[in-house]
Amino acid sequence: MDPSATYTLSQGGHQYGPFTLEQLRDHVSQGSIQPTDLIWCPGMATWDSVREVLGWAAAPAPVNVETPLASPSTPAPVSRSESVAAYPKPPSLHWGLVLMFTVLTLGLFGLVWMFVHAAWVKHIDPTCNALYVLAVGIPLELFLGFAGRAEGLASLVGLIAVTWAYFWMHGAMEKRFGLNLSFVMTLFFNMLYLQYHMTEIADRADAARWQRLQV
């Protein structure tokens, strides 16, 4: 067991994390994570139960002891806001402003903003290669367009690169945050649609951090 590894938790059909071993032990001792919940980290072939990864002796279940002096406190559940706060904050510009700036700059802002999206998704899911798809597809589209001999091919290359990249980001966001994103909206409004959800994720992250400051 690598003490420096970070784990993703599957609980109630959603995924949370990443958590360190120490954080997992704390949540198990509080009762917010059950020994039968599944966790995974890079290098593991399959999802294993918390009991198997930590070892029952390493994280024993809390024993309820009745006492007239104090009542037991209610453990805090692992909320979606807490899992969101564990990742870097996404670009939070309102989708309407993204659209406006893209129109005002004749598409230049949108071109740059796609790379901003892909770079953030790469941080939350290193297996997502949307950034590389854009880094190859967009320059190739521009090269073909400036060559002036294959404008239709240039547009097709750009369309494929952007669509492919955004569906890759679509999948990464669903996996990391337990979202249920629309296939159709991603297909037709990829940058604006994912920006809408990124703004919501950023708002939840801010709320989670504020709650922690209040504790």
The model's pLDDT over 20-45, given as tens digits with 9 standing for 90+, comes to 888 878 878 877 788 888 887 877 77
CATH for 28: 3.30.1490.40
Lowest-confidence segment of 51-60, 151-160, 166-175, 182-191 by average pLDDT: 51-60
Q: Tokens 């796609």 map to which residue?
A: 114
* Domains in the chain, number: 2
The winner for highest mean pLDDT among 20-34, 77-91, 127-141, 149-163 is: 127-141
21/18 Cα distance (integer angstroms): 10
Cα within 13 Å of Cα(203), Cβ side: 8
Identify whether residues 48 and 131 lie together within a single domain: no
Q: Which stretch, 22-31, 38-47, 78-87, 106-115, has highest mean pLDDT?
A: 106-115
Same domain, 178 and 122: yes
The domain in which residue 189 lies consists of 95-214
Residue 161: inside a domain? yes
Is 17's pLDDT higher than 50? yes
Q: Is 60 exceeded by the pLDDT of residue 19?
A: yes
